[in-house]
Structure 1
Amino acid sequence: MLNFIRVVWAVLMAFYYYVFIKDYRIVKAAGQIEEISIAKVGITGAVTNFFDTLGIGSFAPTVAFNKFLKMGVRDKELPGLLNVGDTLPVMLEAVIFTTVIAVEPITLVTMLAASAIGSWLGAGIMSKMDETKVQRVMGFALFVTGILMSLSAMGYMPGGGDAIGLTGGKLIIGIVGNFILGALMTAGIGLYAPCMALVYFLGLSPAVAFPIMMGSCATLMPVCSVKFIKEGAYPRKAALLLGLFGAIGVFIATYIVKSLPLDILRWLVIVVIFYTSVSMLISANKDKKSDMDTSIEGAKNEDGEN
């Protein structure tokens, strides 16, 4: 069954690269490939995907690096850069972690399929939801999860486990949970930290979160990226470099994660969950403030007209 998953991934990547290379060659022939610093994009790709492999995620750090290093990627092209550029590193993460970390096949296949279906079906639903409210709820839930996991890691309460698969009711919960997380990705909510929390509370080993969460994203991102490519809404050269150097970061981090003792890995998961929780809450508050400012400005304009 694992081989079947890899065949699916191979087909998705073949389609992704066919579309990407075709578009790149057409734009290059027209002399419209953007000028960009190989060093800056290379550093960004290697560093952000190193941390992505540790479960921290690469999207937010890439945006920060773009501003800090002045890479020159325009804000409107950032979504395309993140998805198209990080597709190769994420796929490598998925292949590597499903190889070095054992997961019961039924658990892996059903949870990956659930996330993909959730993303596909959830796009229309989640796009209509208030993103700020979703971020606030998820941020609070993850913060509570981080506290409970910390107490468990310190021996104050039971939690976690060393299982590599789910059965019965827990499997159903895992499938439904990953379906929801796949849908939440369409609302801009990352899958990594919530997936870590999900597998932890279902009694799985913290290490099992890595092949599940990365496999989920590897199933989604090639298809998502093709949309950006066909619309030309991405920087070609930057995306190519981000993926190639990102692959280097993945291989370096994979060795570290593979060799980490389970206790250290457990605390790494906790740190990631707290980090994501705080980031979501901060983002939700910024969005709320922005909405309030917009409303105030609109009211002033109306008063002025009256």
Structure 2
Amino acid sequence: MVQILLGLLGVLLVYYLFYFIRDLAAERGNWGSGNAIVSGVIGLVTDAMDTLGIGSFAPTTMLLEMTKQLDNDRKLPGTLNVAHTVPVIIEAFIFITVVKVAPLTLFSLVIAAIVGSYVGSKTVSKLPEKKVQFYMGIALIITAGLMALKQLGLLDMLGTGNALTGLTGIKLIIGIVGNFILGALMTIGVGLYAPCMALVYMLGLNPLVAFPIMMASCAGLMPVAGVNFIKSGDYARKVSLAITIGGIIGVVIATRFVTGLNMDVLTWIVIAVVIYSGVTYIRKGLR
């Protein structure tokens, strides 16, 4: 089952690269503005952050604005999707092969997120975005608080050890439904990483197990979105290529850091990421 998932991601990568390389070749000499070195450094930093579970879109947006890499803000959504597709797929490949996850759990949750994003694009996108972001932020803050209490030994309701690498029975069903909802919520701007971390932790899985699940989920979504932007030409070619190259380097460096972490340290990092994301969602919801 894991091999099927890896094969699917491989097909999506080839599909994406075909259109990306073809477009760059067709528009040679017309790759737009931006500094390749600056954009490459942005990719290295933000995709390293992505590998740590923090996410890449928000910091990339901030850094592109600070360094004035885009000549037209209309190209921002396309640039984000195109630039980070290959690094995210590489993240998924690395974590799927390095981190032990029960095949049925991994495959089920990833497919649930992909299906959820498709359904969400048809239905959930009609929900009031600000309200969803606000309440998701509140939920993440509460979850992070419970996780912290457990780490401090003050709460036993979340179980002990969190050493599971797979889900069965009702927990597997909850995981599938939860990731389906998170995939749907991505269509209105609710990132999958932090909520997926919280979901995995609450179900008793090893914190590291969240990484292949959340990254494979996004790796299944982004190539399709990226190709759509490539076909329409609504992205910055030079900036996207540079971020992609820098991002690949950042992923390789950060992966070694994450997979070598002590579980207690990793859990506190997860808690910090969940709190950060919760505050971000609340601010978006109130803005």
TM bucket, shorter chain: over 0.9
Instruction: Give the CA deviation at 1:73.
Output: 4.7
Q: 1:35 and 1:109 mapped to 2: Cα distance? A: 40
Q: Which residue identity is paired with 2:82?
A: V
Partner residue, 2:95: 97
Q: 2:31 and 2:70 mapped to 1: Cα distance? A: 13
Q: Which residue identity is paired with 1:254?
A: T
Identity of aligned residues (%): 50
Partner residue, 2:235: 234
| Larger RCO (CA within 8 A; separation ≥ 6) | 2
Q: Which residue identity is paired with 1:94?
A: A
Partner residue, 1:129: 127
Q: 1:69 and 1:251 mapped to 2: Cα distance? A: 25
1:66–1:73 Cα contact (<8 Å) kept: no
**Partner deviation per Cα, 1:46-81 (whole Å, 9 max, x = no partner):** 000111100000000001101222223522111111
Q: Which runs of 5+ in 1 are unaligned?
A: 287-306
**1:56 aligns with one of 54, 57, 74:** 54
Partner residue, 2:195: 194
Partner residue, 1:25: 25
**Of the two, which has the highest radius of gyration?**
1
Q: 1:21 and 1:70 mapped to 2: Cα distance? A: 25
**Partner deviation per Cα, 1:86-124 (whole Å, 9 max, x = no partner):** 001101110101111100000000000000000011102
2:37–2:242 Cα contact (<8 Å) kept: no
> Alpha carbons of 1:73 and 1:248: their partners in 2 closer, same or farther (altered >3 Å)?
farther
Instruction: Give the CA deviation at 1:38.
Output: 1.2
Residues 84-163 of structure 1: pairs in structure 2 closer than 5 A: 84-158=82-156, 159=158, 161-163=162-164
Runs of 4+ in 1 over 6 A off after TM superposition: none
**2:43 aligns with one of 26, 42, 45:** 45
**Partner deviation per Cα, 1:12-44 (whole Å, 9 max, x = no partner):** 11111111111121122xx42213211210110
Q: 2:264 and 2:192 mapped to 1: Cα distance? A: 22
Q: 1:11 and 1:100 mapped to 2: Cα distance? A: 20
Q: Which residue identity is paired with 1:24?
A: L
CA RMSD of aligned residues (A): 1.0
Partner residue, 2:260: 259
- Taking structure 2 as the reference length, what is the TM-score of the superposition? 0.97
2:137–2:282 Cα contact (<8 Å) kept: yes
